[in-house]
């Protein structure tokens, strides 16, 4: 059921109207109508999830933007993740388990693994989460990869701190404490785990989202054995490092994601100069995190579906 939010009027307007969303117990998904939410609200939430902005300051700024604290609080369910949407349905054809593997400097890396039951010689995919850690949404994505016929693992970047905490603000805060080189090595070890897995065929790919999209590019730079890398709305690497990439790249961006998209021209120029094989798509009308179906205000169903079809097509060409 579409949820409509009226446009916010300028501050000098004598009256300000907002059509309050009808929030059902399932937090009605906005789907294509997510663009009806004032873009300033989505941009503010994007700033909150990526910048050192406290929840108190975020709520305060949201209240000023909407005109009242009551309205600000009513919008939160549409902005924040609702993991009930990511409830992974059990599939008897897919074997899932929580695993560990050796990371850098003695760290034991935790990961969620999914693979088709009883199948061998599978292409393998490393799934890299956003800056919220290994949560139900990423487990669901990992299941989707396995259902498409691949061996898949999703490492928990916050393993050095004991794993992803339930509180997302706490999780985001821990990302700034990660050692960059150690974290990169931890994920490179994840690729090694997949390359040596008894059910694998030795070919590996990765797919990352947001923070994970940026890391997917770094894995392509630092792992010459990687066959394919897919980055969803990830920050671009330094142009000087692009020539090291051997994997085929697939890059997905939301057309409304000005913050991340600012780095596209320099990145694409470097890719072309280095003759890296890549595909780049910008999905008009889609925001940052458009693939995340647990984030009602930003999820864009059409863009997510098309991007996923393209992702699986790349894996089909390179990993099987």
Q: What is the pLDDT of residues 202-228, one digit of tens each?
A: 999 999 999 999 999 999 999 999 999
pLDDT at 85: 66
Mean pLDDT value of segment 138-162: 97
Is the pLDDT confidence value at 132 over 50? yes
Which carries the bigger pLDDT value, residue 81 or residue 174? 174
pLDDT, tens digit, 9 for 90 and up, residues 64-85: 988 999 988 988 888 887 776 6
- pLDDT > 90 fraction of the chain, expressed in percent and rounded: 71
Comparing C-alpha atoms, which of 32, 82, 27 is closest to residue 303? 32
Mean pLDDT value of segment 130-144: 96
pLDDT at 88: 61
pLDDT, tens digit, 9 for 90 and up, residues 7-63: 332 333 333 333 333 333 333 333 433 446 889 998 898 888 887 788 899 899 999
Residues whose CB falls within 8 Å of the CB of residue 217, separated by 6 or more in sequence, listed in order? 229, 231, 234, 236, 237, 245, 249
Q: Per residue in 260-286, is it b (16+ CB within 10 Å) or e — as a string?
A: bbebeeebeebbeeeebebeeeebeeb
pLDDT at 262: 97
Is the pLDDT confidence value at 194 over 90? yes
Is the pLDDT confidence value at 93 over 70? yes
Q: What is the mean pLDDT of the chain?
A: 87
Measured between alpha carbons, how far is 134 from 190 in angstroms, rounded to an integer? Answer: 14
pLDDT at 87: 58
pLDDT at 243: 98
pLDDT at 17: 31
Cβ 83 vs Cβ 74: under 8 Å: no
Cβ 37 vs Cβ 43: under 8 Å: no
Mean pLDDT value of segment 294-307: 94
Mean pLDDT value of segment 118-133: 96
Measured between alpha carbons, how far is 45 from 28 in angstroms, rounded to an integer? Answer: 19
Q: Which of 68-72, 120-124, 152-156 has the lowest mean pLDDT?
A: 68-72
Give the catalytic positions in this structure: 210, 257, 288
The partner residues of 102 in beta bridges, in order of sequence, read: 108
């Amino acid at each position: 059921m579409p949820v409509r939010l009226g446009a916010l009027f300028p501050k000098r307007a004598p009256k300000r109207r907002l059509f309050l969303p009808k929030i059902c117990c399932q937090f009605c998904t906005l789907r294509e109508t997510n663009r009806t939410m004032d873009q300033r609200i989505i941009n503010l939430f994007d700033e909150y999830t990526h910048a050192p902005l406290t929840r108190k300051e975020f709520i305060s700024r949201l209240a000023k933007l909407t005109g009242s604290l009551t309205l600000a609080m009513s919008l939160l369910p549409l902005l924040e993740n609702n993991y009930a949407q990511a409830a992974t349905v059990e599939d008897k054809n897919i074997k899932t388990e929580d695993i560990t593997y050796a990371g850098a400097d003695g760290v034991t890396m935790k990961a969620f693994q999914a693979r088709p039951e009883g199948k061998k010689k599978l292409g393998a995919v490393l799934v890299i989460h956003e800056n919220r850690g290994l949560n139900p949404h990423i487990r669901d994505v990992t299941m989707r990869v396995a259902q498409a016929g691949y061996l898949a693992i999703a490492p928990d970047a916050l393993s050095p701190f004991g794993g992803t905490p339930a509180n997302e603000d706490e999780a985001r805060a821990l990302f700034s404490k990660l050692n960059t080189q150690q974290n990169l090595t931890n994920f490179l070890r994840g690729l090694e785990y997949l390359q040596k897995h008894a059910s694998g065929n030795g070919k590996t790919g990765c797919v990352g989202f947001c923070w994970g999209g940026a890391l997917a590019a770094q894995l392509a730079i630092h792992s010459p054995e990687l066959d394919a890398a897919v980055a969803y709305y990830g920050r671009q690497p330094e142009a000087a490092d692009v020539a090291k990439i051997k994997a085929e790249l697939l890059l997905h961006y939301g057309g409304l994601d000005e913050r991340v998209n600012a780095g596209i021209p320099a990145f694409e120029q470097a890719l072309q100069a280095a003759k890296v094989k890549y595909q780049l798509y910008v999905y008009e009308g889609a925001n940052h995190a458009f693939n995340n179906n647990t984030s009602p205000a930003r999820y864009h169903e059409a863009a997510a579906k098309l991007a996923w079809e393209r992702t699986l097509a790349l894996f089909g060409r390179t990993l099987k």
